[in-house]
Amino acid sequence: MDSQTSGRRSTYKRTAFMAVLLPLFAASVNAQTVEARCEKLLPLKTLTAAVGAGYTAYDAVERKPGQLECSWLSRGGGSIKTLIATHWNKTALADWGREFTPAKTGNDWWDMVVTNSEDAMKAKRQPVASLGKRAALIAMPPSKTGSQTKILIQRDNEVIDVISTGLSNAEITKAAKAMASP
């Protein structure tokens, strides 16, 4: 084999190798970061408009494929306020249903999680209008150590669980209504 033939084969191998790697590299560059997906779910600017200034994006995690958890934190005036939103897409719901039988759909998720939240928080659900297929607010009775409020939202192919500490029922409802579909 002469050096010219060897050089062509080497060039061909590099080109073939790059043709395989380039789409993988491009996909990773174009994929949204978890933080960007949280910003899309509830932009910080929108959260600030809904519940007041002082919040920072605190954490963004994809727990499992299709299960996105985003949190925001506000410290000031001797208090800490938190807002955590967990979003499940259709795939994550199906996976969740396989893990926690008999829940298999968004309806099963709703029935199971809302009822369990009522029991755990010792509070009854309050329906929230204009928030998808159905939504409910569940608020713990206030105590000396603070309180927790939760809004559960069911849409056609996704569900969102929003938990807060230090926010009023009206504030968490405003934040939940401000959430865009990711």
Written in H, E and C, the secondary structure of the chain is CCHHHHHHHHHHHHHHHHHHHHHHHHHHHHCCCHHHHHHHHCCHHHHHHHHCCCEEEEEEEEEECCEEEEEEEEEECCEEEEEEEEEECHHHHHHHHHHCCCCCCHHHHHHHHHHHHHHHHCCCCEECCCCCCEEEEEECCCECCECEEEEEEECCCCEEEEEEECCCHHHHHHHHHHCCCC
28-32, 74-78, 94-98, 162-166 — which one is most confidently predicted on average? 162-166
Give the pLDDT score at 39.
94
In sequence order, the 6+-apart residues with CB closer than 8 A to the CB of 179 are: 41, 42, 85, 153, 160, 162
Q: Is the pLDDT of residue 108 over 90?
A: no
29 vs 175, which has greater pLDDT? 175
- Going by C-alpha positions, the residue among 58, 71, 4, 70 that lies closest to residue 32 is 70
Give the pLDDT score at 2.
62
Q: Is the pLDDT of residue 99 over 80?
A: no
Cis previous bond, 102, omega within 30: yes
Are 146 and 126 a contacting pair, CB within 8 Å?
A: no
Of 10-14, 133-137, 178-182, the range with the lowest mean pLDDT is: 10-14
Give the pLDDT score at 22.
36
Q: Is the pLDDT of residue 16 over 90?
A: no
Mean pLDDT calculated for residue range 132-157: 85
Q: Is the pLDDT of residue 21 over 50?
A: no
Which CATH code for domain 34-178?
3.40.1000
Domain ranges of the chain: 1-31, 34-178
Q: Is the pLDDT of residue 26 over 50?
A: no
Give the pLDDT score at 29.
39
To the nearest 10 degrees (0 to 180), the angle between helices 169-178 and 44-51 is: 150
Q: Is the pLDDT of residue 27 over 50?
A: no
Binning pLDDT at 50, 70 and 90, where does residue 20 land? very low
Structure token digits, residue 156: 């056609």
Give me the residues paired with residue 105 across strands.
none
